[in-house]
Amino acid sequence: MSSSEMSLSAQARRGRLVVLLGATLALGGCFQPMYAQQTPVVASTAPGAAPVGVDSALSAIDILPVDGRVGQKIRNELIFALSGGAGVPAKPLYRLDLTVQVIGAQTAIVDPYTDRPELETSGVDVSYALVRVGTGAPVMSGNALGRATYTRNRQRFASTRAQRDAEDRAAKVAVGQIRAKLMSHFATKGL
């Protein structure tokens, strides 16, 4: 192989590298990082007011206390999901009323030899209503459902703890649904 043939293949490789690098740089602006912080803009209903982001609209929601362990878990998870853990807003624009119903363990699989449940499902049903604070007018309402399965153990404490953990997982599912519906509402309807 002569030196001119080697330099020609080296030039071809460099050319391919330049084209690949150029394509990479050109397409780099077309993609957004998966976990980038994005704040959709919500148009404010007040005349002359600046647009408000969905995040600030969500953080202006006050969530009333709820009875029961699972109800308090849902309230705490919602406070964190809507405001990042900032707690009660200084000037809440909305109030979120929650009604939580815990669905007891439902047996899904039974051991045919011992007639003991092996797999059970716990659930949470949440009814919510978003109300404007100043007027008391209902803005939106809905339901969220969460279900989680767990393995039943022969040890009573282990089964009780597994059921409690399943209730907590079901609560997080319901919180995710409520947050998504609230975000959708504020992104489409505004404040």
Q: Which residue has the tokens 């404007």?
A: 132
Whole-number Å distance between alpha carbons of 126 and 18: 57
Q: Judge whether 36 lies within some domain.
A: no
Ranges of the chain whose pLDDT falls below 50: 34, 41, 43-45, 47-51
What residues are paired with 130 via a beta bridge?
A: 96, 140
Three-state secondary structure call for residue 37: coil
Whole-number Å distance between alpha carbons of 46 and 92: 16
Q: What CATH number should be reported for the domain holding residue 162?
A: 3.30.160.150
Q: Which pLDDT score is estimated for 47?
A: 46
Give the distance from CA 162 to its chain's centroid: 23
The whole model's pTM is what?
Answer: 0.69
Three-state secondary structure call for residue 76: helix
Do 11 and 75 fall into the same domain? no
Q: Judge whether 86 lies within some domain.
A: yes
Q: Which pLDDT score is estimated for 43?
A: 47
Q: Which two tokens stand for residue 18?
A: 């330049």
- Host domain of residue 2: 1-31
Q: Which pLDDT score is estimated for 77?
A: 93
**What is the number of domains present in the chain?**
2
